[in-house]
Structure 1
Amino acid sequence: MLVPSLDAHQASHPAPVLDVGRIRAISIDLDDTLWPIWPTIAKAEEVLLQWLALHAPATARLFANTEALRAIRNQMVNLRPDLEHDLSALRRESIRMALVQAGDEPTLAEPAFDVFFDQRQRVQLFDDAHDTLAFLSTRYPVVALSNGNADVHRVGIGHYFKASINAKDFGAPKPDVRIFQEAARAVQVQPHEVLHVGDDATADALGALGAGMQAVWLNASGQAWPHGAQPHATVSSLTHLCRLLG
Structure 2
Amino acid sequence: MRCYLRPQDIQGISFDLDDTLYDNQPYIAKAEAELIQFLHREFPRALPWQTQDWRAIKLELLQQNPQLAHDTTAARLATLQYGLARLGYSAAEAQRGAHAGLACFRFHRSDFQVSAEIVALLHHLRQRFRLIGITNGNVDHQRIGLGDVFEFVLHPGQGVQMKPARDMFELACARLHLPLGQLLHVGDSLHADVRGARLAGCQSVWLNPGAGRSGIAPSSGLLPHLEIATLEPLLALLCTE
Name the TM tier (shorter chain).
0.7 to 0.9
1:233 to 218, 221, 226: 226
Match of 1:94 in 2: 79
Which structure dedicates a bigger proportion of its chain to helix?
Answer: 1
| 1:172-219 Cα distance to aligned partner (Å, 9 max, x none) | 111122321211122121111111111111111111111221110111
Paired amino acid for 2:32: E
Task: Tell me the distance in 2 between the aligned counterparts of 1:89 and 1:233.
Answer: 34
SS of the aligned residue for 1:23 comes to coil
Match of 1:66 in 2: 51
Query: How big is the alpha-carbon RMSD for the aligned residues of Structure 1 and Structure 2?
Result: 2.0
Structure 1 stretches of 4+ moved >4 Å: none
> How far off is 1:115 after superposition?
0.7
1:202 to 182, 191, 194: 191
Q: Does the 8 Å CA contact 1:25/1:140 hold for their aligned counterparts? A: yes
Cα distance change on mapping 1:243 and 1:75 into 2, 3 Å: farther
Paired amino acid for 2:219: H
Q: Does the 8 Å CA contact 1:128/1:238 hold for their aligned counterparts? A: no
In the TM superposition, what are the counterparts of 1:39-78 in structure 2 within 5 Å?
39-59=26-46, 61-63=47-49, 65-78=50-63
SS of the aligned residue for 1:155 comes to coil
Paired amino acid for 1:134: H
SS of the aligned residue for 2:61 comes to helix
* TM-score, normalised relative to structure 1: 0.85
Task: Tell me the distance in 2 between the aligned counterparts of 1:245 and 1:29.
Answer: 18
Q: Does the 8 Å CA contact 2:187/2:205 hold for their aligned counterparts? A: yes
Structure 1: runs of 5 or more not aligned:
1-13
Counting matched residue pairs gives: 229
> How far off is 1:76 after superposition?
3.1
Identify which range, 111-120 or 95-104, moves more after superposition: 95-104
Task: Tell me the distance in 2 between the aligned counterparts of 1:69 and 1:111.
Answer: 16
Q: Does the 8 Å CA contact 2:184/2:203 hold for their aligned counterparts? A: yes
Paired amino acid for 2:72: L
Paired amino acid for 1:198: G
Paired amino acid for 1:97: Y
SS of the aligned residue for 1:220 comes to coil
Task: Tell me the distance in 1 between the aligned counterparts of 2:167 and 2:205.
Answer: 19
